[in-house]
């Protein structure tokens, strides 16, 4: 009998820089559980988000279609009712599907405060939950502690005490246990698998349905000064305080300025939330069997944290567009567990990969992209919030260069990523680079 399709777990964080882990070499980051995951995963070290802002990236991740082509152009645009998501496609293949956490793709009042209960208690109707069979989360609100949850079993928002990452990982783990992530052991009676959870394509009631679970965590998103649970507060709590003065800053953060002061203060909280969320993820992963489950860890975008004197996201710089991407339980050509891949991948690849895992049953990755591939990145609109990028732009990133165009397709930024990894020397105005920029511009 052929092996059943794998279970698939996506763990997607918010504002987690691609460089901000121990395994990536960040001296400030204490991420032992993700470091352990990386040791058994493929580490896509060049991964990017297609859009370095939450709703645009989330819509692209769910649909496999870029913004605004997927219907999300403005920060407050909801995901269109007719949008087909990865959940729709996997349910059609017999998967049980579940979503936990931050949605950020329904209607929000632009006049309401971004942080607080106004957005956290918005009820997302079942028809607007992206096709997930089970859904439990919140629209937005940035309540890193004591989140309000509603969904399949919670018709009205309920405040759940605890650190958000702990709460969501624990509830996702409970759902996975309920649908049977521990495959039925030989000799167990078939009646131990509930009818609703049996795989419709299986030979009678021999196998439970495979599952797809999307765990959407807000941390380490601001407010960075939100309290972080101390280790004595519970088994998943972490977040030992960081001394702002001890934070090691990148060379492209201007020292001796207000930018440095703000960067140090915010990064102290940022790294504490990284650590607390790493611990919550570690407890979740401890309950997921390595065999028969593909695990993905990533983030929808990064954060500038003072690089180039800038903060937050929406910017085309590496700090904003690069994201961590680990995949455990899938093989990619000759690249296997504990390996680093330099392939130019994007979050847009995840839906395609996931459908391949679900359809081929081999848990192999689709064919690698050609070496000439380019990563396309863009911001489809200006988000009118403090510190965010001030223009619409589109760009392309290769292993060696990055070109960013203004809305009228004139060059804004051009960097040699090999000689200038900190992107401190904009070559867009260099007449000797015209041919290189023209070549890249044709491919964006």
Q: Where are the domains of the chain?
A: 7-372
pTM for the predicted model, two decimal places = 0.91
CB atoms < 10 A from the CB of 98, how many? 25
| pLDDT value for 332 | 60
User: Tens digits of per-residue pLDDT, 338-367?
Assistant: 899 999 999 999 999 999 999 854 444 444
191: pLDDT strictly greater than 50:
no
Mean pLDDT, the chain, integer: 89
Q: Where residue 335 falls among pLDDT bands split at 50, 70, 90?
A: low
| pLDDT value for 290 | 78
- Strands 411-416 and 393-397, how do they pair? unpaired
User: Tens digits of per-residue pLDDT, 274-308?
Assistant: 999 999 999 999 989 878 999 999 999 999 999 99
196: pLDDT strictly greater than 50:
no
| pLDDT value for 201 | 35
CATH topology of domain 7-372: Alkaline Phosphatase, subunit A (3.40.720)
Q: Where residue 238 falls among pLDDT bands split at 50, 70, 90?
A: low
């Amino acid at each position: 009998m052929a092996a059943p399709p794998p279970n698939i777990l996506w763990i997607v964080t918010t504002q987690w820089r691609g460089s901000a882990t121990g395994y990536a070499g960040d001296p400030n980051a204490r991420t032992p559980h993700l470091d352990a995951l990386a040791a058994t995963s493929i580490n896509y070290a060049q991964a990017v988000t297609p859009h370095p802002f939450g709703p645009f990236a989330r819509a692209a991740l769910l649909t496999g279609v870029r913004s605004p082509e997927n219907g999300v152009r403005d920060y407050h645009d909801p995901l269109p009712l007719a949008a087909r998501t990865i959940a729709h496609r996997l349910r059609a293949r017999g998967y049980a599907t579940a979503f936990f956490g931050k949605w950020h793709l329904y209607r929000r009042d632009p006049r309401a405060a971004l942080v607080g209960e106004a957005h956290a208690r918005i009820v997302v109707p079942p028809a607007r939950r992206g096709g997930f069979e089970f859904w439990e989360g919140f629209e937005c609100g940035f309540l890193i502690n004591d989140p309000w949850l509603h969904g399949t079993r919670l018709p009205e928002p309920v405040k759940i005490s605890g650190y958000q990452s702990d709460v969501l990982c624990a509830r996702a783990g409970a759902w996975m246990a309920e649908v049977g992530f521990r495959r039925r052991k030989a000799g167990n009676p078939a009646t131990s698998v509930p009818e609703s959870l049996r795989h419709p394509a299986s030979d009678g009631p021999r196998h439970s349905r495979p599952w797809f679970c999307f765990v959407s965590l807000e941390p380490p998103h601001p407010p960075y000064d939100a309290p972080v649970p101390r280790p004595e507060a519970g088994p998943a709590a972490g977040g030992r305080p960081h001394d702002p003065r001890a934070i090691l800053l990148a060379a492209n953060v201007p020292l001796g300025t207000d930018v440095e002061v703000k960067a140090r203060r915010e990064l102290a909280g940022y790294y504490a939330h990284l650590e607390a969320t790493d611990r919550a993820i570690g407890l979740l992963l401890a309950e997921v069997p390595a065999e028969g489950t593909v695990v993905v860890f990533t983030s929808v975008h990064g954060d500038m944290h003072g690089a180039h004197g800038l903060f937050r996201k929406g910017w085309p710089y590496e700090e904003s567009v690069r994201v961590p991407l680990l995949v455990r339980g899938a093989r990619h050509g000759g690249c296997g567990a504990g390996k680093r891949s330099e392939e130019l991948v994007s979050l847009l690849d995840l839906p395609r990969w996931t459908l391949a895992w679900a359809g081929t049953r081999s848990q192999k990755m689709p064919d690698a992209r050609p070496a000439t591939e380019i990563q396309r990145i863009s911001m489809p609109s200006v988000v009118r919030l403090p510190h965010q990028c001030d223009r619409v732009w589109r760009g392309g990133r290769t292993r060696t260069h990055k070109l960013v165009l203004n809305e009228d397709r004139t060059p804004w930024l051009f960097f040699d990523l090999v000689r200038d990894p900190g992107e401190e020397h904009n070559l867009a105005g260099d007449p000797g680079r015209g041919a290189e920029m023209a070549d890249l511009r044709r491919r964006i």
